Amino acid sequence: MKVKVNEMVQIHNGYNSAGGMFIHERFIEGKVIKVNAKSIRIHMTHVKCTTNGKLTQEYDIDETVTFAFWKTIETTGKTVSIFKNSKYGIIKVVH
């Protein structure tokens, strides 16, 4: 795992339409505060919400959440570890 403490990350959560495009998306910015073998803890600081690609809402938060390791995938020659939290979404970490 390449993620390190104090590294900035972006959390993604979205809802698809029937065609597969995201209609509603939420991007949360945060900083890694703890790394374990099977999880990472993130302090979240800022949220941006979009609808059909246009910014609809933006606000600050102050919350710390743990993301559990979900799976590792191979994509375009890169290994990607995916961490998830049922309330906030996923984080992709490229190796």
- Integer Cα distance of 35 and 43 in angstroms: 12
The domain ranges of the chain are: 8-94
Per-residue model confidence as pLDDT tens digits over 30-80: 999 999 989 999 999 999 999 888 999 999 999 999 999 999 999 888 888
Contacts of 93 (CB under 8 A, 6+ apart): 1, 2, 3, 9, 80, 81, 82, 83
Beta strand segments in 1-95, E: 8-16, 22-35, 39-51, 54-75, 78-85, 89-94
C-alpha of 45 from chain center: 13
In this prediction the pTM is: 0.83
